[in-house]
Structure 1
Amino acid sequence: MADKGKNTTSGTQAGSETSSVGAYVVKDPEAFARNVARMLEELGKAASAWVEPREKGEVSDTVSEPMADMVKTFSKVGEYWLSDPKRAIEAQTSLLTGYFGMWSESLRRMSGEDETPRAKSADKRFSDPDWEDNPFFEFIKNAYFITSDWANKLVSESEGLDEHTRHKAEFYIRQITSALSPANFLLTNPELYKETVASNGENLVRGMHMLAEDIVAGKGELKIRQSDASKFVVGENIALSEGKVVAQDDVCQIIQYAPLTENVLKRPLLIVPPWINKFYILDLNPKKSFIKWATEQGHTVFVISWVNPDERHAKKDWEAYSREGISFALDTIEKATGEREVNAIGYCVGGTLLAATLALHAQEKDSRIATATFFTTQTDFTHAGDLKVFVDEDQIASIETAMEKSGYLDGSKMATAFNMLRASDLIWPYVVNNYLKGKDPMPFDLLYWNADATRMPAANHSFYLRNCYLENNLSQGRMKLAGKTLDLSKVKIPVYNLAAKEDHIAPARSAYIGGKLLGGDVTYVMSGSGHIAGVVNPPAAGKYQFWSDGPKNAEFDDWVAGAKETPGSWWPHWHAWIRSQSDEEVPARKPGGTKLKPIEDAPGSYVRVRV
């Protein structure tokens, strides 16, 4: 009886192994061969879409420049390890020791000596059970982790590197290890392998077709789709808040939103969004819209909708964006409402421009902005995060040379840079899903907005990169605007300074340090999540948290340690702060008032211009 039981168990295991192996065996070779041929045909179309604009001179590749910088950076890391033979041998021994340990463990598992269940990886790239259950794929995964950890250790333990070089080396290592993950390749990803076998390669046919479409959409560059763009139309099911464009110039349109309360705060609210993306991140849909929510709280909301520039805007610099953007908006608000004093919000680079404008206004005795709110804004770029990797004299000079030809920086360049900051979330999952699984991405309004890129005028972008990221002039009192040298300490108005804890674009520490440069009372608040979700967090969602009321004049870490944590959205906390500055109310105002004739319905025409 015991033997029969044992045999039954063995038979079950054998059947399971056969079933597992069967998932990797092509069932219909003829159908598979046909699909391989179709896949190659689609791949040929993708190649043609890539080559054609280059043959016509419409696209010129600059791959050699970042590659040269990466090689230059890694050569400095290599110099440290190779300059001492003993150190080099220790580094190689460390890697080999990891490989030998992994090999021994794999042999024990394959021989049945080690039957300890393996814990499932927390890394979502390796969620398929066969990454643990199949010795081949487990070996590949473990080899990848050992090699990645070793490469990161080489950089972190290199001595004598300047801070910028170390930062670049760490960033480039992350990009390489993200790209070389076995999860990104058909033959080394069990989920992809099984899916290809099960569909006889249909997934690859669909994937290569999508690849060709995305290269065509990118006009010779790969424009990875992160969302189903066909499901969204600006002004129809996204950016829906009711309002009117009440003024416009070469740089922007000014939108005034219709009131949703009988009375409104006397001080209107002006929102200065970044021009690197479009303003409707604050009006994605009625449930997520900060604009709609602010209107419901009794704010008369005005928003700057920046132009999507072309060669005509090449000379529009920071002064133009300050004068023809913020100052133009203030003039418009006064005409529409009769009010001189406003509450202003600046988001990201829009906040940096707002801070510079406030410093300029302080010298010009322009007191129209009574309070300022900064959303994830930097004025001191010492701790500016991974975007600093792209900023040194050589790289800026290269960007400026490219912008001279067209008068602007193509939006896809900035979009790629932002995606690279989180390549494991924003690039490679979509490569796998779209081109290897052959699946359309899900419709997602946030990622639709993220892909709706904008160009940057040459003069504006050059000024920003040099004065902020490269030379940090605003924080050092060296930035010049309209012929005046700016001093942030002269900005005496009350400020609400919002950062996001997990922000990779404007780190919370950076926002905090920059806020201390201002000369007035600064209320610092740190939200949960990142650069977007930390800001776009409506109270009804009940998500995340925020920290406030940390010790005054403390260092950042001490402020965080002593701050009060509150569950949920920071939006009501901000609104209470606004009312504490001035809560006088007046009857609700219609867009344009009596002096301005509305030009068109919100969200206007500027925001609809696509790259």
Structure 2
Amino acid sequence: MIETLSLNIARAAMTAQSALAEAALSRADRPAALSADPLNVGPAMTSVMTSLASRPERLFQAQADLFGRYMTLWTDTARRAAGEDVPVTAAPDKRFKDPAWAENPMFDVMRQSYLVTADWMNTLISSADDVDPRTRRRAEFFTKLLTDAFSPSNFLASNPAALKALAETSGESLVKGMQNFAADLERGGGKLAISQADYGKFRVGENVATSPGQVVWRDELFELIQYDAATDKQRAIPLLIFPPWINKFYILDLQPANSMIRWLSEQGFTVFVCSWVNPDADKAAFGFDDYLEKGIYRATSRVMEQCGTDRLNTVGYCIGGTLMGAAMAHMAAKGDERINACTFFAAQHDFEEAGDLLLFTDDHWLAEIEGMMDEAGGVLPGSAMADTFNALRANDLIWSFFVSNYLMGKDPPSFDLLFWNADQTRMPKALHMAYLRKMYGQNALARGDFEIGGVRVDLSKVRTPIYAQASREDHIAPMNSVYRSTKLFGGPVTYTLAGSGHIAGVVNHPAAVKYQHWTNPDLPDTLAEWQAGAEQHPGSWWPHWAAWLHERSGDWVDARDPKKGALKPIEPAPGAYVKVKS
């Protein structure tokens, strides 16, 4: 057994060394990073450290606090070694859920000392209260990234679960882990692209994105999909969904059991989806005006033509909702009343408190992004956006898979949502830079300084009824940011708060009986006031929304057949654009 273990460790080492050598060769002729500090962390840390150094009493108190925590840890460890029943002093953490972390004294001390030190470091950085808030938040964010990276769970020698797997498999777990590591390096073209799912288990149009329907329109910017009716009667006013162009639309149609699109069809709505093209260099100059005129206006016109109506209801998800809000303000300025009612999923229009993504929108990082897009021919590679989103939840989306895939040698899970998460799209330079600068950088839409389609738009002129959904744990469109956005519109707004985050908070089929949601018919000045008067309900918010939507969707009419409308079917759903890989 010892001989087998030794041979397997040697095999694992050789596999890793070979993979790293091939990765180095594959990237040898590529340009170096535009900046040694692309996210401008250095100046932020300098500001924070200068602030802390100017107040030595705070540093002294912090050091005394750390020493006190260690003394408590050492004392408890000594008492536990002597046989006393001493409760755990550090908070539980799912990185350390294996019983060996608590049962083995050595790993218990390692775990607790790490948690104490990490918490101390993060708290110290946060205490620099005389620093610009955004600068401090950048320092906090990257200190958290650093402390997360140095968790003992991320290293083979200090992870008892990984060591146990190594011993039980005579090293086969490590061999498999290094094979996974080599495969991910190869898939990333020399850059480590950690697998989050078993990508071979899913095929778009075969076992994800399977709701039946037809592509009834296709042009250079989008495909318009109309889904088959699931009822004999449908509401007269159709529903058109604009997903974010950052991701592919089938997050709303993963599997029959969790498909929002299928569920909406079963409620009697005529459902359309705008499936955005995965842009290449020829779309580099496309900006907000293009996505307004060639996207929103054209797609809504085609839906009305297909259904023979003079109005429709719309949904805007995330950045698709930002565009939809600006479009409705543009329509209000023109007296265009085609939008009967609009729903926003996790969409922001006021970016003053837009969460951690604000950290990526200072001038230094924007110059880095622009240079990256220039090198890619005028588009932002899909992997760049994936890296950003993964960094926002590093423990969940990076380190958990690092440990499982490489240290434990496990296969990535067969999880449809994570498959979708990795199926990223590119973004045109003009559009993306305008979005980052105008929305995140200048908050122009909320301030009335945003121009689109030749009009400086004013959201307060929008009188259309709006349903705004937010999620309590959303780190991309924080619930307060969405709430602030609702206060910008001039018409009636219904705000609903869901449990969970940016994706699971939205995609929560009622049959799953998961999470909860809160409702309050009033819209007071602040989210805190809204929450104080809100009523909690178990399960999904979809039925509440559907009831709101039914009231604004007209009479019942005979179900519509996508093959018999004014627009001729081109190919079955989910179409061709969604299958284009980045």
TM-score, length of structure 2 as denominator length? 0.96
Distance 2:136 2:354 in 1: 15
In the alignment, the residues of structure 1 paired with residue 515 and residue 58 of structure 2 have an alpha-carbon distance, to the nearest angstrom, of: 46
Runs of at least 5 residues in structure 2 that lack an aligned partner in the other structure: none
Match of 2:23 in 1: 50
Asked whether 1:209 is paired with 2:179, we answer yes
For residues 546-565 of structure 1, what are the structure 2 equivalents within 5 Å?
Answer: 546-565=517-536
Relative to structure 1, is the Cα distance of residues 535 and 87 closer, same or farther in structure 2, using a 3 angstrom cutoff? closer
1:601 matched residue in structure 2? 572
Q: Distance in 2 between matches of 1:193 and 1:66?
A: 36
For residues 325-363 of structure 1, the C-alpha deviation after alignment (integer angstroms, 9 at most, x for no partner) is: 111111211221111200000000000000011111111
- Residue identity opposite 2:169 in structure 1: S
Tell me, what secondary structure is at the counterpart of 1:426?
helix
1:107: Cα distance to partner?
A: 2.7
Residue 548 (structure 2) aligned to one of 564, 577, 586: 577
Partner SS, residue 206 of structure 2 = coil
The alignment yields a C-alpha RMSD, in angstroms, of: 1.7
In 2, the alpha carbon distance for the partners of 1:522 and 1:314 equals 35
- Structure 1 residue 104, shift from structure 2 partner: 3.0
Listed as ranges, the gaps of 5+ residues in structure 1 are 1-27
Q: Who is 2:6 aligned against?
A: 33
What are the residue-to-residue correspondences of 1:38-187 with 2, within 5 Å? 38-57=11-30, 60-61=32-33, 64-66=36-38, 69-110=40-81, 112=82, 114-116=84-86, 118=88, 122-187=92-157
Q: CA deviation at 1:311?
A: 0.9
**For residues 167-246 of structure 1, what are the structure 2 equivalents within 5 Å?**
167-246=137-216
- How far the C-alpha of 1:573 sits from its partner, in A, is 1.3
The answer as to whether partners of 2:495 and 2:523 remain within 8 angstroms in 1 is: no
Alignment of 1:265-276 (within 5 A): 265-276=235-246
SS in 2 for 1:581: coil
Q: 1:397 aligns with which of 367, 389, 397?
A: 367
Inter-CA distance 43–62: structure 2 relative to 1 (3 Å threshold): farther
**Counterpart contact for 2:499–2:517, Cα < 8 Å:** yes
| Distance in 2 (alpha carbons) for counterparts of 1:526 and 1:84 | 41
Matched length: 581
| Structure-2 residue corresponding to 1:251 | 221
SS in 1 for 2:518: strand
Change (3 A) 1:465 1:120: closer
Partner residue, 1:505:
476
Equivalent residue, structure 2, for 1:488: 459
Q: Is contact 1:550-1:562 (8 Å) kept?
A: no
Question: Are the equivalent residues in 1 in contact too, given 2:304–2:312 (CA < 8 A)?
Answer: no
Q: C-alpha distance in 2, partners of 1:274/1:408?
A: 16
Counterparts of 1:530 and 1:257 in 2: how far apart (Å)? 27
CA-CA distance at 1:249 after TM superposition: 1.4
Give SS of 2:214's match: strand
Greater C-alpha Rg: 1
Shift of 1:132: 1.8
Does residue 524 (structure 1) correspond to residue 489 (structure 2)? The answer is no
Distance 2:535 2:55 in 1: 50
- Tell me by how many angstroms 1:301 deviates: 0.9
Contact 2:90-2:116 within 8 A present in 1 as well? no
**Per the alignment, do residues 595 and 551 of structure 1 end up closer, same or farther by CA in structure 2, a change over 3 Å counting?**
closer
Aligned mates of 1:280, 1:582 — CA distance in 2: 24
Taking a change above 3 Å as real, the CA distance of residues 118 and 102 of structure 1, as seen in their structure-2 partners, is: closer
Post-superposition shift, 1:49? Answer: 3.8
Q: Which residue of 2 aligns with 1:372?
A: 342
Provide the C-alpha distance between the structure 1 equivalents of 2:348 and 2:109, rounded to a whole number of angstroms.
44
Contact 1:49 1:212 in 2 (8 A): no
Residue 378 of structure 2, aligned match among 407, 424, 429: 407
What is the Cα deviation at residue 592 of structure 1?
5.2
Distance 1:570 1:493 in 2: 21
Preserved CA contact (<8 Å) 2:35 2:368: no
Classify the secondary structure of the residue corresponding to 1:427. Answer: helix
For the 8 Å contact 1:372–1:496, the answer to whether it is kept is: yes
Alpha-carbon distance in 2 for matches of 1:134, 1:337: 67
Q: Report the Cα distance in structure 1 between the residues aligned to 2:341 and 2:542, rounded to whole angstroms.
A: 16
Deviation track 1:337-394 (CA, whole Å, cap 9, x = no partner) reads: 1112000000000000000111111112221111100011100011111111111111
Determine whether 1:319 maps to 2:289: yes
- Assess if the C-alpha contact under 8 Å between 2:317 and 2:344 holds in 1: yes
Does the aligned pair in 1 maintain the 2:38–2:368 contact within 8 Å?
A: no
Higher mean C-alpha deviation, range 578-587 or range 251-260: 578-587
Write the distance in 2 (CA, Å) between the matches of 1:181 and 1:511.
Answer: 33
1:103 deviates by 2.4
